[in-house]
Every structure is written in structure tokens, then in C-alpha cells.
Amino acid sequence: MNIIQQHFDKDNLHHAYLLEGARELVVPEIFAFCENLNIKTSGNPDFVHMHIDTLKREDAVNLRAYGAEKSFTGKRIFVISVNSFLIEAQNTLLKLFEEPIPNTHFFLIVPDANILLRTLVSRFFLISARQDLAEEAKDAEKFISMPLFSRINFIKELLTTEEDEDEEGNEIVASDSTRSKAIKFLNALEFVLHSKLVKNFSGLLQPSAGTFPVQNSLSVCLEHFFKVREFLRMPGSSAKSLMESVALITPSF
């Protein structure tokens, strides 16, 4: 589909690309681009492809060490898709992407660049291949009109992950992590609430009788969404519990 290849300059590759979008769409394009440069994407010790659900500090330390290793072919390529990052991991990566390594190029794929620190994002050439949130927005519209028990069921279905084999067929990986799905839906829900309530940003919203707490203003709601995003990045946090709290606090229409 060539969504992202148009942004690559084969004669002047940037040392670090941040690609925002679905990995199943982005990764094949990166592979095709590398093949066009006669860079082998299999059987090549200088081509590293990995998928990590949550990047932790130790992963960042290992990645920094891998990046410093000597090339066998003259050019090293790292294609890494990550659903979420811990803050400690991002801080560890700052120096790696601040000081480019000669003939080493990183392609980092994330579902949403908002999950990263702005200081880290500034180290990259950012390319957005995100599809719009049209489908999620439709779900969000339905969500805010649902009674609580329906919202809880919706959250349960939303966070169900399908599993598949990796490219080598060696292991089972989540095709889209629960945290990634949660953040994507949260973004759509926030957008829908903004569009409905922008004129009454701090006004109190009266929920359906007996369903939600009375004092659910948009400002309180968005503050809660912000906290949920932060907790979703932390190890050991429960995406299901966090999103159920969203179901509780989101005003009803």
C-alpha cells in the first residue's frame, strides 16, 4: 500500500524512525523497503526484527547493547514493534537515539506515539500511518449510551486478545495487546466526549438514574483517563480493572 515508504530516502536514511500505526500494516512495508535496498530480511545477522508487548528497562538496556555491536555487512537494521513502554525503559533509550550509531538504523513501530515521552519522540523521524478512529468512535458513541452492565461486557470483549504464531512459527504472541486496545479505545472515547461536551467542559452531567455517580464532569473524566493511561504503562497493572473504572466514571447520555 506504500503508506510509509514514500517517507524513506534510500540515499539518506535517518538513524531512527518512529512509525505510528498497526504493525501488521507497517512491518511488511519496512521489509519490502529493505529488500529493495538489497538488505536481506532473513538469514542476515545485521537485520533484527522483534515484537515486544511491553518494553521494560532490561529490554532497553539489551537493545542499547545490541545497537553498539559491530556490523557484519556494513549496515544494521532494527525493526521493533512495541505495544507499550515503561517510563524507565524510555529514559534508558534516550541516549541511544540521541547519539546516532554509524550505519545503524532503527524502525520503531508503536500503535500510538502518545504513549511515549515527548523528549524520546523528538529523537525520531516521526511517520504516522495510523488509521482514523472511525470504528472506535462508533463504539465509543454506543458505549456512552450503555447501562453499566453492558459497558462491563463491552470492556470484557474489547480486551480479549487473539493469538497467533510469530514469523518463525516458534511461539505464540498477542496480535494486539490488551493495553494497546485499551489506549486506542480510550483515545476514541475522549474524542467523542470532547465533541459532545466541549461547550460545557466543566459542567456537571447527570447520569442515568441509579447507574453512575452524580458528579461526573468532563474535566474529572478526562483527568481519570489520563491516570488510566499512566497506569496502563505500569507492570502488573490490570487493563481490565482500569477500563472498568472508565466504564464507571464515563457520563451516560
Q: How deeply is 200 buried, as exposed, middle or buried, from its count of CB atoms within 10 A (0-12, 13-18, 19+)? A: exposed
164: which strand partners? 173
In order along its 253 residues, the chain shows pLDDT tens digits of 456 667 787 778 888 999 888 888 889 989 999 988 889 999 999 999 999 988 899 999 998 888 888 888 888 999 999 988 888 899 999 888 888 888 899 999 988 787 788 888 888 988 877 665 667 788 888 999 999 999 999 999 988 754 433 444 433 333 346 777 888 788 788 878 776 665 444 444 444 444 444 334 667 887 888 888 778 767 678 888 999 999 999 887 6
Query: What pLDDT does residue 208 have?
Result: 44
Query: What pLDDT does residue 61 have?
Result: 92
Query: What pLDDT does residue 2 have?
Result: 59
Query: What pLDDT does residue 117 have?
Result: 84
Query: What pLDDT does residue 243 have?
Result: 93
- CA-based nearest residue to 216, from 181, 187, 252: 252
Domains and CATH numbers, the chain: 5-128 (3.40.50.300), 134-249 (no CATH)
Query: What pLDDT does residue 214 have?
Result: 34
Distance in angstroms between the alpha carbons of the first and the last residue of the chain: 39
Strands 172-174, 163-165: pairing is: antiparallel
Q: Which amino acid is at 52?
A: I
Count of beta carbons in the 10 Å neighbourhood of residue 139: 16
pTM above 0.85, yes or no: no
Question: Whole-angstrom Cα distance, residue 68 to residue 82?
Answer: 20
Question: Whole-angstrom Cα distance, residue 247 to residue 35?
Answer: 46
Residues contacting residue 34 through CB under 8 Å, at least 6 positions apart = 41, 47, 77
Say if CB 143 and CB 157 are below 8 A apart. Answer: no
